[in-house]
Structures are given as structure tokens and as C-alpha cells.
């Protein structure tokens, strides 16, 4: 059978939600006084948009074959990502059979190694890689999950990330993860406020519902240890991304410090098998949380997952909607999924990458069957205001 050849790789940018889910309007829980590494500066404390969390915007990568079949993917990356895709990464894909994903990944990574390794370059590589998997699925008329080993269970089950774990419980989720709103700079009063909020939520949801804290890189070992120790009284299941991602030593120490039974999780701002190898070998955490749109794409996530499996660690990807769902359903060491509550008040379930994708599935009663459609099973909304800042 003749394998279609990749003819065009194109990169677009788009603003307002979507893959750059921090790019929201005002009065959204995701931008309401969340503790960050910038919270030590009072001027940047109230809103993450104040220090530029939404500066990048969404990157859309579209890949077309010589037979006119297209695949696409979205990630965070905006105009810089579009530049990297068009001016640098496209050359490693165009002219190749759609099946050559492994060599394309290797050339994209090694060809950018002198300025890449992680960050925006890996976001861009991830976007191309996910678009390649979508394209292969469109060519073969198979869902991505079927091409990477097939499902190991019937459906996904979800915990919810948002401001209202109590409402998430009513919606059928298995747990609720709240963003911490105070860090070391806000001292003891801040910690008391945090614990008070946790206690209130525990009282609202009862004993068995999972409650977690997401600290978005904003604490230090001492503060995180105190918070985890006190939060143990309210059954905190895990403390997430407590420290800056480069502080592997701090994570190892925190993991030794937290109360027995509480998990330390991290990895959403980590990239590649080499970054995750450090987290594993230094015993930094109990659950790895790679973002498939940032860590190197699905090709790399499969390698990270195999490495984690050999260390008896779970891999529960950060957000990323369908790009995570197709992975999670195929892995034994990925027993549940994250769902980001993107309704401004976290009071209803809306598609995670809303309003960017058509056919984007959502959990019902906290559960979801991954749709049996080719590729990642979604389409780009025709209503988007796409911009193509570069070409080649």
C-alpha cells in the first residue's frame, strides 16, 4: 500500500482560551489570586495575567499529505511556536511518509538541541508530534488509542481541577484539586486561610472524596512540609508541584518529609525522558504529571510512561483534553485522568479546550468513553480567527 507523503506543515496562532487555557476573560477562577512564583511581588499577586501567563496564546499545527489528508493539533506556543514550526521543524517532516514519526521526532529534537531541550521548543515539537499522530489516524481511519496499544479499560474516570471540589463531587468526579492561593510571602495568616478552605471543603465533601492542593511551583520545602503536615488532618491526598521544577533536590526532600500516605506529584512543567528520568531516579514524587502538549508529544510521553512503569510510578497527564485521553486509556499505570474545569465559576462541565475544538468529549458523571473516531477525534472549529504569522 502506498503511504501518503507529508507535503505541508503549517502553524497558526489563535487567542482566547483553547490550548492556552490561561487566556481567559476576567473573573475566572483560574486567574483569581492563585499562588505562583511571582506572588512574592504584591503587584503580581492577584492575577496571573498580570505577569503574562497568557502571553503566548494557542499554537495550531496543521499537516497535510500529498493525497490531501490533514491532521492537526493544538498546544500553547503562539507566535514563537509558529516561528519554530514553520522555519525549523517543518523541514524534518515535509517529504517523509506519514508513518515515519520516530525519525521525525528524533530530528526535530536533535536539530533544535542547541537552543531547545525544553520550554517553548518542546511545546512546538509536541504540537507537531500530536498533529502527526492525528494525521496517521486520519490516513488509517483509526483512533490514536488503537494505534498505541488499544484500551486497557472501558472508560476513563476523572478528578476535577477547579475552585469548587464540592460541586465536582455532585457532578460525579472522584476528587477535586484546588489551586493554593497563598505562599511563603503571605506568612502564617496565608497558611491558616489555606487550611481553613481545605477544612471547609472536607466538611462539604465527606471523608472519601479525594482533595488535593496544586501549588503551581510557588512554595519552598519548609513551607510545603508545614502545609502538607497540617493538611494531613483533612485527608489531603497529594500536594502538587509545590516547588520550582528545577529543584529536584527539594522535591526529594519534600517527599521524605510529607506524612506517610500523602503523595507528592509534579511534572507538568518538565519535559522529555531525560527530565522525567531525573524526577524518577531522585525519587522526587509519586505521580508524574507530564503535559502531552509540552513534554515532547505523544511519542515522548510513551517513553516517559515506560520509564515510570519500571519505577512503579503512575503517570497521570496534566490537562490537555483528547491528547491525554487517548494515552490514559491505553496505560495500566495511568488509572485516572485530570479534568480542568474551564467554566469561570467551576460550576459546570465544559470542554477543556473550549471554544477551539468541535466534537471535544466531556465526562458525564465523572466518566468518559474515548470516542471511536479517527486520529484524536476532534475538528478545529471553523469559527476561529486563525492567524498564520510565518510561512516557508
Question: Does the annotation place 155 within a ligand binding site?
Answer: no
Residue with Cβ nearer Mg ion (194 or 214): 214
Q: Which residues make up the interface to Mg ion (CB under 5 A)?
A: 214, 268
Name the 3-class secondary structure at 188.
helix
Question: Is the peptide bond preceding residue 11 cis, with omega within 30 degrees of 0?
Answer: no
Cell 475552585: give the residue: 163
Kindly give, in sequence order, each residue whose CB lies less than 8 Å from that of residue 1, ignoring residues fewer than 6 positions away.
Answer: none
CB of 138 to Mg ion, least distance (A): 31
* Rounded least distance, CB 202 to Mg ion, Å: 20
Pairing of strands 379-380, 236-240: unpaired
| Chain position carrying cell 514563537 | 80
86 is in an annotated binding site: no
Least spacing, CB of residue 3 vs Mg ion, in Å: 39
Nearest residue to Mg ion by CB is 214
Length of the chain: 392
Is 182 part of any known ligand binding site?
no
Active-site hit among 28, 182, 318, 326: 318
Spatial distance between the Cα atoms of 235 and 233, rounded to a whole number of angstroms: 6
By beta-carbon proximity to Mg ion, the closer residue of 37 and 97 is 37
Task: Reply yes or no on whether 182 is catalytic.
Answer: no
In contact, 130 and 290? CB cutoff 8 Å: no
Cβ partners under 8 Å of residue 215, min gap 6? 35, 180, 183, 224, 239, 240, 241, 242, 243
Min CB(21)–Mg ion separation in Å = 12
Q: How far is the CB of 214 from Mg ion (least distance, A)?
A: 4
Measured from the CB atom, the residue of 22 and 331 that comes closer to Mg ion is 22
Instruction: In whole angstroms, give the CA distance from residue 320 to residue 18.
Output: 10
Residue 338 known to bind ligand: yes
Which positions ≥6 away from 306 have C-beta within 8 Å? Answer: none
Residue number, 17 or 162, with CB nearest to Mg ion = 162
Q: How far apart are CA 86 and CA 101, in angstroms?
A: 18
For Mg ion, the closer of residues 126 and 138 by Cβ is 126
Residue 364 per-residue DSSP state? B
Give binding residues for Mg(2+) as ranges.
Answer: 214, 240, 268
Binding-site positions: 22, 48, 214, 240, 268, 338
| Active-site annotation, residues | 318
Q: Which residues are annotated as a binding site for substrate?
A: 22, 48, 338
Amino acid at each position: 500500500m502506498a503511504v501518503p507523503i507529508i507535503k505541508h506543515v503549517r502553524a497558526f496562532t489563535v487567542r482566547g482560551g483553547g490550548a492556552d487555557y490561561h487566556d481567559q476573560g476576567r473573573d475566572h477562577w483560574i486567574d483569581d489570586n492563585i499562588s505562583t512564583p511571582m506572588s512574592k511581588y504584591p503587584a503580581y499577586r492577584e492575577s496571573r495575567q498580570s505577569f503574562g501567563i497568557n502571553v503566548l496564546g494557542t499554537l495550531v499545527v496543521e499537516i497535510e499529505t500529498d493525497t490531501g489528508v490533514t491532521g492537526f493539533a493544538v498546544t500553547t506556543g503562539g507566535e514563537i511556536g509558529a516561528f519554530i514550526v514553520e522555519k525549523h521543524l517543518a523541514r524534518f517532516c515535509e517529504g517523509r511518509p506519514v508513518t515515519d514519526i520516530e525519525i521525525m521526532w528524533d530530528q526535530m529534537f536533535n536539530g533544535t538541541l542547541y537552543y531547545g531541550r525544553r520550554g517553548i521548543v518542546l511545546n512546538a515539537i509536541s504540537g507537531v508530534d500530536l498533529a502527526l499522530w492525528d494525521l496517521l489516524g486520519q490516513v488509517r481511519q483509526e483512533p490514536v488509542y488503537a494505534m498505541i496499544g488499544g484500551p486497557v479499560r472501558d472508560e476513563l474516570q476523572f478528578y476535577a481541577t477547579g475552585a469548587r471540589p464540592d460541586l465536582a463531587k455532585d457532578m460525579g468526579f472522584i476528587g477535586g484539586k484546588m489551586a493554593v492561593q497563598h505562599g511563603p510571602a503571605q506568612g502564617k495568616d496565608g497558611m491558616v486561610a489555606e487550611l481553613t478552605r481545605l477544612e471547609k471543603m472536607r466538611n462539604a465533601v465527606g471523608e472519601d472524596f479525594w482533595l488535593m492542593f496544586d501549588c503551581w511551583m510557588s512554595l519552598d520545602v519548609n513551607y510545603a512540609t508545614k502545609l502538607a503536615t497540617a493538611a494531613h488532618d483533612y485527608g489531603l491526598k497529594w500536594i502538587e508541584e509545590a516547588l520550582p521544577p528545577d529543584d529536584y533536590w527539594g522535591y526529594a526532600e519534600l517527599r521524605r518529609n510529607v506524612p506517610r500516605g500523602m503523595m507528592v506529584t509534579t511534572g507538568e512543567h518538565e519535559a522529555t525522558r531525560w527530565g522525567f528520568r531525573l524526577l524518577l531516579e531522585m525519587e522526587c514524587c509519586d505521580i508524574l504529571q507530564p503535559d502531552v502538549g509540552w513534554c515532547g508529544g505523544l511519542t515522548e510521553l510513551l517513553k516517559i510512561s515506560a520509564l515510570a512503569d519500571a519505577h512503579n510510578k503512575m503517570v497521570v497527564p496534566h490537562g490537555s483534553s483528547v491528547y491525554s485521553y487517548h494515552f490514559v486509556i491505553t496505560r495500566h499505570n495511568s488509572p485516572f485522568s485530570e479534568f480542568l474545569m474551564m467554566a469561570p465559576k467551576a460550576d459546570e462541565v465544559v470542554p477543556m479546550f473550549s471554544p477551539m475544538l468541535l466534537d471535544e468529549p466531556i465526562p458525564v458523571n465523572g466518566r468518559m468513553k474515548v470516542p471511536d473516531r479517527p486520529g484524536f477525534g476532534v475538528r478545529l472549529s471553523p469559527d476561529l480567527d486563525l492567524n498564520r504569522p510565518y510561512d516557508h
